[in-house]
Amino acid sequence: MNKFTKTFLIAGGICLGAGIIVTGIALGMARKSGMADQGSYEKISTTITDNFENIHIEEISHDIKFVISDDDSVKVEYWDNESLIHDLKVEDDTLTLTYKNSKHWWDWINIGIPGITEPVNNTPHDTIIYLPEDEYKDLKISGVSSDVIIPEGFIFEDISIDTVSGEITCQSEAVGNVKVDTTSGNLNEISINGISATVNTVSGDVHISNSDLSGSLVINTTSGEVALTDINISAVAINTTSGDINLVNYSSDNTSIDTTSGDIDAIVIGDYNIAFDSVSGDQNISCNNISDGARFTVNTVSGDLTVRAA
């Protein structure tokens, strides 16, 4: 066997071994996301009597749901097992729920196939926070694949949500600053009546409605669609590659849109000074386009622009 062949075989063996390990870890993560060992989970329900203003929640895959309490008490429900446990406490005026992993790294290496060599149980293991309708200060949520559902009835000062693939629905109001970071999770709905908001996503869609911001809204996405409905914001910056942008009943003093191929369709309130820079995209403007109107700048390669009055 010559030296080249030997080196090639060794390299191939290393790649194959690495592939098996990565696959094992990936399948092991499926266990972490609730596809195995479901029967060992125990539901924990705790009533909170200490006062707090801030809420910090950290999860991995269990969905996070806020529910209006029917008796004005605060209660937290979550699921534990011997390897994955929660830590719930009230400290420094903050209700904190963190998700601790007591497994060793090698416990994640698992070549079993969920549903064939491992049991599957579809029992939902949601983390539920029951709260009275009230005003709260800082809401921080961190998750990997957790869906986040927050209904109407709560008012938060600042909201920060960081997740990878979970869907985010927030019908409660934010009166301060909002920051959302996600990879593929959709921001289904959020209403912001405060200072500023920043949304960073790769492929997740972004839907923001019924919002009034004194500061700026910044949205960065690659392929996710952006929909802004019934909003009045001082300054808006949208950066996207291929996602379409839809603005309905839209009002802003300063709009900057930078896209490669995404189309822009806007129904605007007020007069605008529209600057459209494109290589091959078409423009169709039927609203008042005057020099002293609100600034509306679009830079695109092939995206079309349609702007009409509300």
**Taking Cα atoms as reference points, which of 62, 57, 67 lies closest to residue 41?**
62
What integer pLDDT is reported at residue 99 of this predicted model? 84
Total count of residues recorded for the chain: 310
Coil, strand or helix: which one is 83? Answer: coil
Q: Which helix (H) or strand (E) holds 21?
A: helix 3-30
**Residue position matching structure tokens 């950290």:** 58
Instruction: Classify strands 42-48 and 74-80 as parallel, antiparallel or unpaired.
Output: antiparallel
What integer pLDDT is reported at residue 259 of this predicted model? 95
**Residue position matching structure tokens 């209006």:** 68
Phi, psi of 13 (to 5 degrees): -65, -40
Alpha-carbon distance of 94 to 137, in angstroms, equals: 10
Neighbours of 89 (CB within 10 A): 13
β-bridge mates for residue 48, sequence order: 74
Residue type at 263 in one-letter notation: D
**Residue position matching structure tokens 């079993």:** 112
pLDDT tens, N- to C-terminus, the chain (310 residues):
544 444 444 455 555 554 544 444 444 444 444 444 444 889 999 999 999 999 999 998 899 999 999 999 999 999 998 878 999 999 999 999 998 776 555 454 544 454 444 445 567 899 999 999 999 999 999 999 999 999 999 999 999 999 999 899 999 989 999 999 999 989 998 888 999 999 999 999 999 999 999 999 999 999 999 999 999 999 999 999 999 999 999 999 999 999 999 999 999 999 999 999 999 999 999 999 999 999 999 999 999 999 999 9
Domain ranges of the chain: 1-133, 176-310
CB 263 within 8 A of CB 243: no
Among the residues of the chain, which ranges form H helices?
3-30
What integer pLDDT is reported at residue 9 of this predicted model? 44
β-bridge mates for residue 200, sequence order: 181, 220
Per-residue tokens: 207: 């839907």
Classify residue 29 as exposed, middle or buried by CB count within 10 Å of its CB (0-12, 13-18, 19+).
middle
Alpha-carbon distance of 196 to 176, in angstroms, equals: 7
Cβ-based neighbours of 90, under 8 Å, separated by 6 or more: 48, 50, 51, 52, 96
Alpha-carbon distance of 43 to 126, in angstroms, equals: 10
What integer pLDDT is reported at residue 124 of this predicted model? 86
**Residue position matching structure tokens 């696959």:** 23
SS (H, E, C) 107-147: HHCCCCCECCCECCCCCCCCEEEEECCCEEEEEEEECCCCC
**Taking Cα atoms as reference points, which of 263, 277, 242 lies closest to residue 307?**
263
Alpha-carbon distance of 31 to 38, in angstroms, equals: 9
Phi, psi of 306 (to 5 degrees): -125, 125
